């Protein structure tokens, strides 16, 4: 089943959700600001995306700039920062089986559905 990590306040995330809805497939919506992914879940997502944890961080968020920017952080510390501050997680993330993409641009979601 397709899973989308979604923030309803984000236009790109809403566009990504619309792409999935229009595909007519079964899917699950995870509002990750309310249901915060665990460290294990985030590590799994990062692995599926085939990226480094830093590549999943929204670096323009105020909290990143104030608390983390310019610091030498390990991958584990970056994941911990995202768990503690889920606003830092890039969105939307779409997972379909063993494939995953960050929906930026939202059209990239079509590659895995």
At 16-59, the pLDDT tens digits run: 999 999 999 999 999 999 999 999 999 999 999 999 999 999 99
Distance of CA 28 to the CA centre of its chain: 14
- Percent helix, strand, coil in the chain, to 5, is 45, 20, 35
Can you give the pLDDT at residue 4?
98
Q: Is 10 a catalytic residue?
A: yes
Answer for the pair 69, 59: CB distance below 8 angstroms, yes or no: yes
Residue 41: domain span = 2-111
Can you give the pLDDT at residue 49?
98
From the list 1, 7, 8, 10, the catalytic residue is: 10
Can you give the pLDDT at residue 54?
98
* Range 46-51, long-range pairs (CB < 8 A, 24+ positions): 46/79, 48/95, 48/98, 48/99, 48/100, 49/93, 49/100, 49/101, 49/102
Mean pLDDT of the chain: 97
pLDDT band at 79 (very low <50, low <70, confident <90, very high): very high
**Domain containing 12 — which CATH number?**
3.40.30.10
Can you give the pLDDT at residue 59?
97
Can you give the pLDDT at residue 39?
98
| Strands (DSSP E) found in 1-113 | 2-6, 27-31, 93-96, 99-102
Can you give the pLDDT at residue 22?
96
* Secondary structure (3-state) at 99: strand
Calpha distance 13→32 (Å, rounded): 12
Calpha distance 84→53 (Å, rounded): 14
Domain count, the chain: 1
Mean pLDDT over 64-70 rounds to: 97
| Predicted TM-score of the model (pTM) | 0.95
In percent, how much of the chain has pLDDT > 70?
100
């Amino acid at each position: 089943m397709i899973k989308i990590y979604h923030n309803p306040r984000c236009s790109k995330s809403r566009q990504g959700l619309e792409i999935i809805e229009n595909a007519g497939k079964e899917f699950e919506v995870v509002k990750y600001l309310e249901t915060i992914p665990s460290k294990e879940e985030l590590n799994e997502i990062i692995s599926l995306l085939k990226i480094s944890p830093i590549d999943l961080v929204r670096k323009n968020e105020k909290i990143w700039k104030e608390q983390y920017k310019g610091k030498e952080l390990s991958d584990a510390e970056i994941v911990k920062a995202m768990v503690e501050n889920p606003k830092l997680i890039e969105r939307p993330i779409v997972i379909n089986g063993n494939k995953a993409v960050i929906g930026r641009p939202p059209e990239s979601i079509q590659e895995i559905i």
